[in-house]
């Protein structure tokens, strides 16, 4: 994402989306059938309305890469014609003939881009990359054709400024504001010369974003660490050895094992491998993605992206790209976001120094003569964890089967939100690993939506974990149910063996499912406002808060069962997990904040011509970044920030949202506990179901009864708070940061 696939899509491309949209990347379809020209639709299944059960589903089984370019071209032409009909309407502008009419446009393009986004994110091939490089600038130009349509904007502006607006429902007023604000932020008020330059910038950026993504994917796909002999597997658990052997088999390499260049493969290797030289190789391979020189190096691209973003911000009347991006977020200004990060940075770095001292002492005790290096951090942290808390993550992993954790998520969704999940086999998928479930309301039995799950890593699939919405819930012209997906990169077990995951991976699984539940809970009229279509520093709140339920006894006793014996995780082990819940929080928080601070400072630098490697190195030194670890996402591979505008000057939002999440979970603990029905219903009704129909700050106050406080987060991480001698740790869960 991202948690979200960084790709801007259709519906008016939707005007709200644009390159400047703060909503999730794939703009979902409305699901209403609207045929493209018959001849084109007859020859290209991407242009045909979705058919079948559940209000229609994507025909993923019929998609071919060669279909994408002509389908995108035809769908864009159709969308422009639909929009032009609204812009040239001779009737006076009203909500219905302008704003609601725009909501009804672009459905064919939405459907095409849904499939296109799936393929670019999970089935990317050299053939598809050619299409991406050509179509990215064209899609950007298409979006500008809509937002720079002066007659169309005049109609939107007229509705927005009309005294009749107060007669609209609150949701209609909100939708009108969203359209107006997004058009303004996309340059609708600029003169012709500025509009031309803005469109040129957007097209250049789209091409650079595509190239950046393809470079990172190339380094992730082409680079692996080959473990040649059994000795190279030293320290790895049986399950990790099996995973490495599976990866070698999949790549047809005659080796003891292979470590692929993705976080889900690298992190466990760095944690358990006792081969220090191989740990260093693995670490360098992963941290240097996009930074190796040659054709896949991203540094020059980053410099150009930053220059173009700074110019665009000035054109739109903002001091910097950071000020533009935060103008319509909860934080409002970069200064407020920086203040939050700096408040947490100091105690986090102080905790890292304590963690390093403990690790160095243990390493020296074992006879090591070296200073702890970044490729040693996870390895020795795990040793300290075992020594101090008698907690072996490999022991925990035996109880965390992927399928069982998925069942646990379903159970939580049922208890908390009243959903049921049932597997379905009558839905086409794009890969055999993808499975689909129908979601229903537990009480009424009413169909809610579909949930697709794509859990395993494969060549051509970008790394990380994320959520997508293929179709948004709405009821403009009848009930339309949502379709959502979760995507991960676990190593598939051999011969049907269960896939065992770490506690951190399980936490991330719950996190991404929180995004899916946000989409599934949606209960709005207009698709533009549905589900996760909220500002960036609010969208991570529902996902962050759901992480808390993993560690509840109800989940662990039912679903954390040993993969061989089927026995539930022992209470003594659960107690040790809770006791160690704030362990290594210095590392987890500092590696995240390093990335977030660099992101913000890069975009506050204005039109300076930046050497990314030098800027990263010097800025981290000024911040006092411990040398024993690196940013979670180094600049040359920071896809959140440079594969789209998605999280640019916005990576801080994870921290902003986790403040909300920690504070919100307090509403449960202060009431009847994590499964308190009244608080659960309040969360669903006042946060999850309302989408962007209300201002997020108002929505949070409705749920919590007040504004959020940082206290819960600081206690959760065991950090001291201002004005207090020390924060008392609140054991809750093992640390695990996302994406």
Give catalytic residue positions: 512
* Contact of 598 with 619, CB cutoff 8 Å: yes
Lookup: tokens for 422: 């049932």
Nearest one of 15, 13, 18, 10 to 646, comparing CA atoms: 18
Nearest one of 606, 610, 41, 676 to 301, comparing CA atoms: 610
Lookup: tokens for 234: 């030293």
Lookup: tokens for 452: 């697709």
* Contact of 318 with 198, CB cutoff 8 Å: no
CB atoms within 10 A of CB 706: 9
Q: Of all helices (H) and strands (E), which one includes residue 656?
A: helix 653-669
Look at strands 447-456 and 419-424 and give their pairing. Answer: unpaired
The order of strands in the sheet holding 447-456 is 419-424, 435-441, 447-456, 482-490, 466-471
- Phi, psi for 607 (deg, rounded to 5): -95, 15
* Contact of 378 with 267, CB cutoff 8 Å: yes
Measured distance CA(70)–CA(40) in Å, rounded: 9
Measured distance CA(404)–CA(505) in Å, rounded: 13
Alpha helices in 398-443 (DSSP H): 402-417
Lookup: tokens for 664: 């919100």
* Contact of 34 with 58, CB cutoff 8 Å: no
Contacts 24+ apart (CB under 8 A), 330-337: 330/535, 330/537, 330/538, 330/656, 330/696, 330/697, 331/537, 331/652, 331/653, 331/656, 334/600, 334/603, 334/604, 334/649, 337/537, 337/600, 337/652, 337/656
What residues contact residue 678 under an 8 Å CB cut-off, 6+ apart? 671, 672
* Contact of 283 with 379, CB cutoff 8 Å: no
Nearest one of 33, 70, 26 to 48, comparing CA atoms: 33
The alpha carbon of 281 is separated from its chain's Cα centroid by a whole number of angstroms, namely 28
């Amino acid at each position: 994402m991202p948690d979200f696939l960084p790709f801007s899509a259709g519906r008016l491309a939707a005007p709200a989306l644009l390159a400047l949209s703060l909503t999730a990347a794939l703009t979902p379809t409305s699901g209403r059938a609207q045929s493209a020209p018959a001849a084109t639709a007859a020859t290209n299944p991407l242009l045909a309305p979705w058919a079948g059960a559940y209000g229609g589903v994507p025909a993923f089984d019929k998609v071919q890469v060669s279909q994408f370019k002509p389908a995108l071209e035809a769908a864009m032409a159709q969308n422009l014609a639909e929009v032009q009909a609204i812009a040239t309407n001779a009737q006076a502008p009203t909500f219905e003939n302008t704003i609601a009419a725009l909501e009804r446009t672009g459905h064919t393009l939405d459907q095409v881009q849904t499939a296109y986004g799936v393929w670019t994110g999970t089935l990317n091939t050299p053939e598809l990359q050619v299409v991406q490089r050509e179509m990215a600038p064209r899609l950007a130009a298409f979006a500008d054709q809509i937002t720079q349509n002066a007659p169309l904007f005049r109609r939107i502006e007229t509705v927005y400024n009309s005294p009749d607006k107060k007669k609209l429902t609150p949701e209609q007023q909100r939708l009108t504001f969203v359209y107006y604000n997004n058009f303004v932020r996309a340059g609708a008020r600029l003169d012709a010369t500025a509009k031309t330059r803005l469109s040129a910038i957007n097209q250049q950026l789209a091409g650079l974003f595509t190239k950046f993504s393809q470079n990172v994917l190339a380094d992730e796909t082409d680079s692996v660490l080959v473990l040649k002999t059994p000795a190279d597997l030293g320290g790895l658990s049986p399950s990790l050895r099996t995973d490495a052997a599976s990866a070698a088999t999949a790549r047809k390499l005659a080796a003891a094992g292979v470590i692929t260049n993705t976080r889900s493969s690298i992190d466990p290797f760095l944690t358990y491998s006792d081969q220090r030289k191989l740990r260093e190789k693995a670490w360098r391979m992963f941290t240097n993605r996009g930074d190796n020189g040659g054709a896949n190096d991203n540094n020059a691209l980053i410099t150009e992206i930053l220059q173009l973003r700074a110019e665009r911000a000035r054109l739109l009347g903002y001091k910097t790209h950071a000020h533009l991006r935060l103008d319509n977020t909860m934080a409002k200004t970069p200064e407020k976001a920086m203040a939050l990060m700096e408040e947490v940075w100091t105690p986090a770095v102080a905790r890292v120094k304590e963690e390093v001292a403990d690790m160095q002492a243990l390493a020296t005790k074992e006879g090591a003569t070296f200073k702890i290096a970044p490729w040693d951090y996870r390895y020795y942290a795990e040793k300290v964890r075992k020594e101090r808390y008698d907690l072996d993550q490999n022991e925990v992993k035996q109880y965390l089967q992927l399928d069982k954790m998925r069942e646990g998520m379903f159970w939580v969704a049922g208890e908390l939100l009243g959903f049921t999940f049932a597997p379905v086999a009558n839905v086409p998928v794009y890969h055999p690993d993808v499975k689909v479930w129908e979601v229903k309301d537990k009480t009424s039995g009413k169909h809610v939506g579909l949930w697709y799950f794509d859990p395993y890593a494969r060549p051509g699939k970008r790394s990380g974990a994320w959520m997508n919405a293929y179709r948004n819930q709405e009821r403009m012209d009848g009930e339309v149910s949502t379709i959502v997906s979760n995507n991960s990169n676990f190593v598939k077990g051999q011969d049907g063996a269960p896939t065992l995951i770490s506690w951190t991976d399980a936490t991330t699984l719950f996190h991404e499912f929180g995004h899916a539940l946000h989409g599934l809970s949606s209960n709005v009229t207009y698709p533009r406002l549905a589900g996760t279509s909220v500002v960036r520093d609010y969208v991570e709140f529902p996902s962050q808060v759901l992480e808390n339920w993993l560690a509840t006894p109800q989940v662990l006793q039912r679903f954390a069962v040993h993969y061989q014996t089927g026995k539930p995780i022992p209470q003594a082990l659960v107690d040790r997990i809770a006791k160690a819940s704030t362990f290594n929080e210095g590392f987890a928080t500092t590696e995240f904040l390093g990335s977030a601070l660099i992101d913000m400072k890069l975009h506050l630098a204005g039109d300076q011509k930046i050497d990314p490697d030098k800027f990263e190195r010097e800025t981290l030194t000024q911040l006092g970044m411990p040398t024993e670890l690196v940013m979670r996402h180094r600049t040359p591979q920071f896809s959140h920030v440079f594969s789209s505008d998605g999280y640019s000057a916005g990576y801080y939002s994870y921290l902003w949202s986790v403040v909300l999440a920690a504070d919100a979970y307090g509403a449960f603990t202060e009431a009847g506990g994590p499964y308190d029905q009244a608080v659960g219903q309040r969360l669903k009704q006042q946060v999850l179901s309302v989408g962007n129909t209300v201002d997020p700050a108002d929505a949070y106050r409705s749920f919590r009864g007040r504004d959020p406080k940082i206290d819960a987060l600081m206690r959760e991480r065991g950090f001291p708070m201002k004005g207090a001698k020390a924060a008392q740790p609140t054991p809750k869960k093992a640390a695990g940061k996302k994406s």
